Amino acid sequence: MSDLVGKRAVITGGGTGIGLACARRLTEEGIETVLMGRNLDRLEAAASTLANARAIGCDVTDDQSVDRAFEACGPVDILVNNAGIAAASAFTRTSMDDWRRIQAVNVEGLVRCTQAVLGPMLKAHYGRIINIASIAGLRGGAYVAPYVASKHAVVGLTKSLSLEFAQTSLTVNAVCPGFVETQIVEDAIANIMAKTGRTRDQALAELAKENPQGRLIQPDEVAETVAWLCSPRSGSISGQAITISGGAI
């Protein structure tokens, strides 16, 4: 029997892609999963496919929405900060509104959710916070400056919190995938096609070549790493930014 049976995990952005894959994998470990996000209908549809899951609407950019969601959820043992957005444009065409919109979700939303769970986690003497960052949080990238900056912030926050809570039972880690086969990547493919005139196959190849294995990462591969980080057996792993990128560095 899994040593995670009976734990409760919140997954933000849990209705699709990496978030849903994480929910499925954690459910297999006997964890109660709580899917949070803005699209409640989509979340409820996703939760209905899982054995022990529920959906709670939450806008991570809104203080009151986050407070209500986590109050409705109850004590949390595991938080997977997965909610995120991306956009591509030249830096010279990036408005401050565009910049703030990405930071509001990818950084400030993560901070709000993390602060919401810390107190109960520390009292419960068990806690796992796993931040879904990106390989973009470890290196640069042209035409995605706001996204890259946001993911660097996530990695930096992960390292800081790990040190701040090192004398507790809480661990904080980041998972940094390369391009994952999700809607965000589909949007990136559409953007490449629109701006360059390339075919879908050509646009996909442009992204896949960033992975030395020549392919997109699958959401289940990310979920498997998340599940390991949730386990008591990973208790000495904290402050890490673990890449899932086929060897890209």
Catalytic residues: 147
Q: Between the CA of residue 32 and those of 35, 52, 67, 79, what are the distances in Å?
A: 10, 5, 20, 12
**What span, in angstroms and rounded, lies between the C-alpha atoms of 180 and 18?**
8
The phi, psi pair for 9, rounded to 5°, reads -120, 135
| Residue 14, SS3 per DSSP | coil
Provide the residue type at 139 as one letter.
R
b/e per residue 80-108 (b: at least 16 CB within 10 A): bbbbbbbbbeeeeebeeeebeebbbbbbb
CA atoms within 13 A on the CB side of 30: 8
Cβ-count burial 175-208 (b if 16+ within 10 Å, e if not): bbbbbbbbebbeebbebbeeeeeeeeeebbeebb
Beta strand pairing call for 127-132 and 78-81: parallel
